[in-house]
Structure 1
Amino acid sequence: MQTVIAFIIVFGSLVFFHELGHFIFAKRAGILVREFAIGMGPKIFGMMKGETMYTIRLLPIGGYVRMAGEDVDKIELQPGYRVGLILNRDNVAEKIYLNQKVQNPNVLFLEVERSDLEDGLWIEGYDEEDNLVRIDVSREAIIVENGTETIIAPLDRQFNSKTVGQRAMAIFAGPLFNFILAFVIFIALALLTGIPISDPVIKNVVDGSPAEVAGLQDGDVVKEINGKSVSSWDDLVGIVQQNPGKALSFEIDRDGQAKELNITPKPFETEDGQTIGQIGVYSPIKDANILDAIVFGAKQTVEFSTLIFTLLYDLIVVNFDIDALSGPVGIYKATEEVAQYGIYNLMNWAAVLSINLGIMNLLPLPALDGGRLLFFGIEALRGKPVDRQKEGLVHFVGIVLLMILMVIVTWKDIKLFFF
């Protein structure tokens, strides 16, 4: 149960902030957002607030913000349709009923002749006395069809009516918010746990450890190990871990005086079966003020982003290996392992996953945010958009291929962890 809760919190937070980025910048651009969804597939919870439906869906493989004007969103009233209209005091239609009987004496029924629910906002048709009438439609009018209510989207509130810059920002904001989330988590970690010092300064020597037995003390600065210069904590850890059970000569600085100690790292077997050396000291930590925490958060975000970009390059360009990919099942199992080491490790894991999600979505692949941004770039260079049908076909093919890859990776993870 602990793992399930941890996974829901981590996954939900990552997807929520990603979609929140899309949502905020779409609203800033004046785009009508029809749905804010966490998860995919069948809806298990939904709540209408304002003009947006907020939903939680069954499959934990992402989420989406559905904007007016995207995909199949256009509402058209074909000639011959019989519609029922609820008018306000100014005789402007506020509700339009389609394909259903309406038991309301105040409804005006029309047989549609022509209509414009995007630009002019009017319906023209014949009333029950066969008079041709024209009714203005409110910008917030609701279409009711088979019991489902949908707010109309005037042209200026549709995604495709906005400038290239506004559309690009609404799409780019999703990955951007993933980087912002990681940045905020790293800041919180710095304030809660302190900031690791990169210098090879000894602190918190464990009782009975090889370091204590050899005489290593808090405050000692390691200068060399076996003649190799040590300039950072990572240098110290790397040499120690690579030499389990081997005597090492440490040259240290203690209060300005040079000393030499012989320490033999104790062998330790990791979960993946590797044997590394340990001497029983911890990385020094310093308390962080808000400025230190912000700098630390920025550095961590940049460092992990660089690392993930490098790993992706190696995976995709140098040596593609599907075994290196993980889907929701793999992330669940990794979250289970990390959660065992406490909330701070889980927070760090969430930050790294958030950066990974942001980077993956920026890849210039069809159906991903990066693929859509690529089309916006082409539009900006050409001065006109790519044919919508052709672009839609590219994204559709991309979605199909991504779903196939997701199924393959998920099955691989299931066989790896459960069989």
Structure 2
Amino acid sequence: MSVLAAIAVLAMLIFVHELGHFMAARLQGIHVNRFSIGFGPILWKYQGPETEYAIRGIPLGGYVGFPDDDPESEIPPDDPNLLRNRPILDRAIVISAGVIANLIFAYLLLVGQVATVGVQDFDYQPGVKIAQVMSEETAAHRAGIQAEDIILQADGEELGASAQAVRSLMEIIQTHPEQVLELQVQRQDETFRVPISPERDESGKGIIGVQLAPHGTLIRHRADSIPAAFGEGAVEFQRITVLTVQGFGQLIRNFRETADQVSGPVAIVAIGANIAKSDAGNLFRFAALISINLAIINILPLPALDGGQLAFLLIEGLRGKPLPTHIQDGVMQTGLMLLLGLGIFLIVRDTANLGWVQQLFQ
């Protein structure tokens, strides 16, 4: 059920994106002849007065079709309500509407989470928790440190109740290889001091052989009122959007180092399934995050994406006329093949990394 929930979230976000294109066209009186969710074989189809609505077997995309280039269309090629015959601004609104729809939907999802189940937060307590001692051969084990211990001080520095406490302790340990550090440790109701000498790793940094975790408890915060929910949702939307844009910037600047962090639909569904299984309330934020990612990816000026079509419109506006059709078609087809190739690669890689798949080959 958790996998189905994650697939439903992904399909819903695709539907919202395509609905944005569809509504932007229909509200302007532009002809639309197809509205499809998914690719591949048709599972359900309905023919309306003008538009064919379909659900297809592979829920990994969708499209809104226009009769402009449909050889079977009976609409005259000079009809003013064909997309290609509309002014640049009208076409830009249709092309960008999917991105706008995803952003608006992400914001509404976050407002809904704040207003209903609440946003998950962490109530930090002083110190850093020892989540695990890696082995008996580590400096931590020799010093008598145990899992669930709380490190309150390191080298005389207080580790306060904040998200930075773990980072502070790591930096102290890493910068003192083969030097004696004094840790103040809390174990249940007892507090005592432990001298420890971090070992030097291959990079020359100090390590003590533990996994660290923030000290505190997870809490959920709900807005006190509907207006407050819209305000807090806006703050959360801005935070996630900024972090996502920064992540894309880092990916572009350091592609070799970060390329393995790019996830395809299989990995996204797996992550969503784990979230649904552990805490279904977080599906709100998961869906909002994916929706924001879809918006940012689609607005990139790459062939076969919305941003690529907007780039063609910009060139048309600067030139006073569109690029020749064969050039546009060639660029779009090349971009589509590259995106399909990347998609297949990510699906194969992420499927191979699934736990149950790896067990088949052990």
Q: TM-score, normalised by structure 2?
A: 0.74
* Structure with bigger RCO (C-alpha 8 Å, 6+ apart): 2
* Equivalent in the alignment of 2:288: 351
Q: Describe the SS at the equivalent of 2:80.
A: helix
* Equivalent in the alignment of 2:107: 183
Tell me if the contact between 1:197 and 1:286 (Cα under 8 Å) persists in the aligned partners.
no
* Equivalent in the alignment of 1:367: 304
Unaligned runs of 5+ residues in structure 2 are: 127-148, 174-181, 194-208
The CA distance in 2 between the partners of 1:239 and 1:262, in whole Å, is 20
Letter in 1 for 2:76: E
Tell me how far 1:4 sits from its aligned partner. 3.3
* Equivalent in the alignment of 1:92: none
Relative distance call for 1:330 and 1:286 in structure 2 (3 A) is closer
Tell me how far 1:181 sits from its aligned partner. 1.0
The CA distance in 2 between the partners of 1:280 and 1:198, in whole Å, is 7
* Equivalent in the alignment of 2:135: none
Tell me if the contact between 1:379 and 1:385 (Cα under 8 Å) persists in the aligned partners.
yes
Tell me if the contact between 1:195 and 1:296 (Cα under 8 Å) persists in the aligned partners.
no
Tell me how far 1:26 sits from its aligned partner. 0.7
Q: 1:234 pairs with 163, 166, 171, which one? A: 163
The CA distance in 2 between the partners of 1:73 and 1:30, in whole Å, is 18
After the TM superposition, which residues 73-222 of structure 1 pair with which residues of structure 2 at under 5 Å, given as runs? 73-75=70-72, 118=76, 155-194=79-118
Tell me how far 1:413 sits from its aligned partner. 1.1
The CA distance in 2 between the partners of 1:234 and 1:378, in whole Å, is 47
The CA distance in 2 between the partners of 1:200 and 1:190, in whole Å, is 20
Tell me how far 1:291 sits from its aligned partner. 2.0
The CA distance in 1 between the partners of 2:52 and 2:302, in whole Å, is 28
Tell me how far 1:30 sits from its aligned partner. 1.3
* Equivalent in the alignment of 1:64: 63
Q: Describe the SS at the equivalent of 2:322.
A: coil
Taking only aligned residues, the RMSD between alpha carbons, in angstroms, comes to: 3.6
After the TM superposition, which residues 216-295 of structure 1 pair with which residues of structure 2 at under 5 Å, given as runs? 227=157, 233-235=162-164, 275-283=211-219, 285=221, 287-295=223-231
The CA distance in 2 between the partners of 1:396 and 1:64, in whole Å, is 15
Letter in 2 for 1:410: I
Tell me if the contact between 2:79 and 2:85 (Cα under 8 Å) persists in the aligned partners.
yes
* Equivalent in the alignment of 2:346: 409
The CA distance in 2 between the partners of 1:237 and 1:296, in whole Å, is 27
Relative distance call for 1:68 and 1:189 in structure 2 (3 A) is same
The CA distance in 2 between the partners of 1:175 and 1:156, in whole Å, is 25
Q: Describe the SS at the equivalent of 1:155.
A: coil
Residue 321 (structure 2) pairs with residue 392 (structure 1): no
The CA distance in 1 between the partners of 2:114 and 2:167, in whole Å, is 24
Structure with the largest fraction of strand: 1
Q: Describe the SS at the equivalent of 1:58.
A: strand
The CA distance in 1 between the partners of 2:330 and 2:253, in whole Å, is 26
Tell me how far 1:193 sits from its aligned partner. 3.2
The CA distance in 2 between the partners of 1:327 and 1:240, in whole Å, is 35
Letter in 2 for 1:301: F
Tell me how far 1:9 sits from its aligned partner. 1.7
Tell me if the contact between 1:68 and 1:157 (Cα under 8 Å) persists in the aligned partners.
no
Deviates more, 1:333-342 or 1:369-378: 333-342
Relative distance call for 1:16 and 1:227 in structure 2 (3 A) is same
* Equivalent in the alignment of 1:45: 44
Unaligned runs of 5+ residues in structure 1 are: 77-95, 97-116, 120-153, 203-212, 215-221, 251-260, 265-272
Tell me if the contact between 2:31 and 2:66 (Cα under 8 Å) persists in the aligned partners.
yes
